Amino acid sequence: SQASDNMRILTGALLLAVLGTGLAQQLQQPDPCEHRHRVVGDITYCDRYWECVSGTPQNYDCPNGLVFVGRNRGIAEGCDYPWRGAYCDNKQLANPPLSTEHCDWLYGIFGHETSCTRYWTCWNGTATEQFCIGGLLYNEETHACDWPSNVRGCQKHPLCTEDPDANVPLGSSCERYWACQGGYPRLQRCPATLVFDKQSRRCIAPPTQDCEAPTTTEAPLGEGTGFRGESAPRPQPRPRTRPQPRPTQSRIQQQPQQQRPTKIAPQSSPERPFVPAGAIPVRFNDPEPQGGFAPQQQGGFSP
Ligand SMILES: *[C@@H]1O[C@H](CO)[C@@H](O)[C@H](O)[C@H]1NC(C)=O
C-alpha cells in the first residue's frame, strides 16, 4: 500500500542518516600515523589523545585532571591544566576526577580549605602547600595569586579589618609596618632614621616606647603580628613552568567509563568556604604572583 511504501522509504532514510552520522564521526577522528607529530587529540574527549605506536593508532588518557594540548606542550605528556585554554569547549571528559586529600583531581591547582592566602598544587595526587606572598590572595577562578579586589569571597585582608585605612604594626618591628588602603595591606618601611610608633601609628623620630633607633636586626616574623599566631612562611622559590619530576610512564590506558564530571574546575562552595588566615611573608618588593602565573589585572592597589 501507499502508506507502507512511505513508511519503508522513511525507515530507509532514517537508517542511512544514522549510519552516515556514525561514519562521519569515525572519519573525522584523524589517524595519528598520518599526522606529522604522530599524536592527535581525540575528537570527542578533551582528556584523551591518539598516538601512533609501531604503526598502529593507540589511545591514551591524559594524567587525571589534565587535558590534551599537543605534543611537547603542557606540563605532562602533551597535557595541561584545562583552564589554560578552551580545550574542552564542545568536547567531553572521558574520565571522572580521582581525588586525594586536598586534590580534587590528581593533577591541578586547588584552593585551600581554610585560607585565602594559601593553595595546593597537586602532582599525581600529592599535594604541596603554597603561599601567596605580598598581600595577594589565591583566586580560584584564575588558579593564581591575585589582588584581593579580584578575589571574590576574600575581599578584605584580615590585617585591615579593624580599620581599612590604618597603619598596623608588624610584630615588634621598629621600621616596618602594614599600611592598609581600603582594606588591602601594603608592606611599608619607615624612612631612614625614623621608627614606627605603635601609639600614633606613624613613623616618628626615635626614641619611642619600644624603639631606640633604627636597627638592622629584625624580630622574627610571625610573633605577635596580630593574626592567628601563624608563623609567616618563607616565600617559596618560583616553581618551574614544567614541574619536576616529569612522569615518564604515567600513561593511563583507557579506563572503563564511570560517572562523568560536569565541570573540571572546582569552585568555592559551602563545603569549601574561603576563610582568610592572614599569614603573609614579609617582602618589600611589589607583590609578585607565585606559581608562574601573572595576575589577570593589576587594578586592585593604588601604590
Ligand atoms: C602516581 O602515583 C601512583 C601511586 O600513588 C603510582 O603508582 C604511579 O606510578 C604514579 N605515577 C607517576 C607518573 O608518578
Question: How far, in Å, is the centroid of ligand 1 from the Cα of 103?
Answer: 14
* DSSP secondary structure of 4-68: HHHHHHHHHHHHHHHHHHHHHHHHHS--GGGSTTSEEE-SSBTTEEEEEETTEEEEEEPSTT-EE
At residue 78, the pLDDT reads 95
pLDDT digit string, tens, across residues 172-200: 889 888 888 777 677 788 998 899 999 89
Q: Whose CA is nearest to atom 1 of ligand 1?
A: 124
Whether 124 is in the pocket of ligand 1, judged by its Cβ within 6 Å, is yes
Ligand 1, pocket-test mutation among 106, 123, 124, 126, most atoms within 8 A of CB:
124
Q: Supply 195's cell numbers.
A: 621608627
Q: Whose CA is nearest to atom 14 of ligand 1?
A: 247
pLDDT, average across residues 262-283: 32
> What average pLDDT does the structure give for the chain?
70
Kindly list the distances between the CA atom of residue 205 and the CA atoms of 72, 174, 176, 180, 193, in Å, as whole numbers in the listed order: 59, 11, 14, 22, 7
Which residues, including other chains, have CB under 8 Å from residue 231's CB and lie 6 or more apart?
221, 222, 223, 279
> What pTM was computed for the model?
0.51
Q: Whose CA is nearest to atom 7 of ligand 1?
A: 250
At residue 160, the pLDDT reads 75
pLDDT digit string, tens, across residues 40-72: 999 999 999 999 999 999 999 999 999 999 999
> Cβ–Cβ contacts within 10 Å for residue 60, how many?
21
Where residue 303 falls among pLDDT bands split at 50, 70, 90? very low
CA distance 17 to 95: 30
Where residue 21 falls among pLDDT bands split at 50, 70, 90? low
At residue 48, the pLDDT reads 96
Question: How far, in Å, is the centroid of ligand 1 from the Cα of 113?
Answer: 25
Q: Supply 298's cell numbers.
A: 593589576
Whether 250 is in the pocket of ligand 1, judged by its Cβ within 6 Å, is yes
pLDDT digit string, tens, across residues 135-147: 888 998 899 999 8
CA distance 255 to 265: 21
Question: How far, in Å, is the centroid of ligand 1 from the Cα of 221?
Answer: 38
Whether 247 is in the pocket of ligand 1, judged by its Cβ within 6 Å, is yes
Where residue 267 falls among pLDDT bands split at 50, 70, 90? very low
